[in-house]
Structure 1
């Protein structure tokens, strides 16, 4: 699907998503353990800290952002992990910034 054909399901009008991003840390030997602990180890202790880092790094993006949509997991991966770590981060980031998180706005249909 191309973005030019994306439509709002509620209003049936064309939409043009403004997708931008920032990295808050390098994925290297120093940070790998923290990220993998959240992703696979059910270690939620760092979520608030990571969300604050995300808010700081994305300050310019968040000024004109209304919703935060996390990357969805395929249902089989979600079952094996029990939760979507990007949804957890998106929810906390939304709480910190006064934005709306919509974790189930997108669905991953292919198991990648």
Structure 2
């Protein structure tokens, strides 16, 4: 344990006295900081099996094998090499994301990242490169932080890869993707996301884990994946906290990385 960890442990009683541990969802008292109460833990839904080995959508047949792919991935293979989601997007995960992404509760990053890390299998070869989905500079200025970058930084602390926090850059503001068809989304994102020139050498021939908070339509993550592969990446896996899945009880799929309260915001990711 390093000096910083010893200091944090020494200050923990003081922090708990000033800020008593509370569940970030319901406000119930907790024994320690950084978790959820048992009732709220039970509300989180973890993607189950059988599911598509590529996109993680549930398979209709109970006889599906672990390596089986869904019809959509077989008919139109995605550019990415797989999706890892800590939870299915439901009311509980939505409230956590709202608090984290729009409520300024950045202290939730370690908790969300630990849940993502638990779902990430080790990739063969050298450590993967952790690359967050970028925000446009104006959105970053408005929000004050990139939630995907905070998650990627915490994932690096768990040993899931090496952080390359600004490998991708969003060159132009994009409109809300809500209600747009596939071709319209692709046009809106055309040329919007690139690999920074100084990161090309780091990205080349590396396994990439693209990190975001919520995954819905796949438009933004696809644009990021194509940019990374064009820069020479060996593979791109997508890791997120919540994955919107049709039939998960949240109605129609919402624009990727957007919670309901944010889908009309200009420059939405």
TM range (shorter): 0.7 to 0.9
- Corresponding residue for 2:256? none
Once the two structures are TM-superposed, the CA of residue 21 in structure 1 deviates from its matched residue by 2.6
**2:167 equivalent to 1:105:** yes
Q: Between Structure 1 and Structure 2, whose CA radius of gyration is higher?
A: 2
Instruction: Give the distance between the partners of 2:111 and 2:104, measured in 1 at CA.
Output: 16
**2:115 equivalent to 1:63:** no
Q: Deviations over 1:62-82 (max 9, x none)?
A: 433421000000111101100
Select between 87-96 and 28-37 the one with higher mean Cα deviation. Answer: 28-37
Instruction: Give the distance between the partners of 2:163 and 2:80, measured in 1 at CA.
Output: 15
**2:100 equivalent to 1:38:** yes
Q: How many residues align?
A: 94
Point out the structure with the larger strand share: 2
Instruction: Give the distance between the partners of 2:157 and 2:92, measured in 1 at CA.
Output: 27
Show structure 2 runs of 5+ residues with no match. 1-78, 175-269
Which secondary structure state, in structure 2, belongs to the residue aligned with residue 94 of structure 1?
helix
TM-score by length of 2: 0.33
Select between 38-47 and 100-109 the one with higher mean Cα deviation. Answer: 38-47
- Corresponding residue for 1:91? 153
Show structure 1 runs of 5+ residues with no match. 1-16
Q: Deviations over 1:40-97 (max 9, x none)?
A: 1110232111111111111x2x433421000000111101100000000000001111
Root-mean-square deviation over aligned CA pairs: 1.9
Once the two structures are superposed, the pairs formed by residues 3-42 of structure 1 within 5 Å of their partners are: 20-42=82-104
Which residue among 115, 122, 139 is the counterpart of 1:53? 115
TM-score by length of 1: 0.74
Point out the structure with the larger helix share: 1
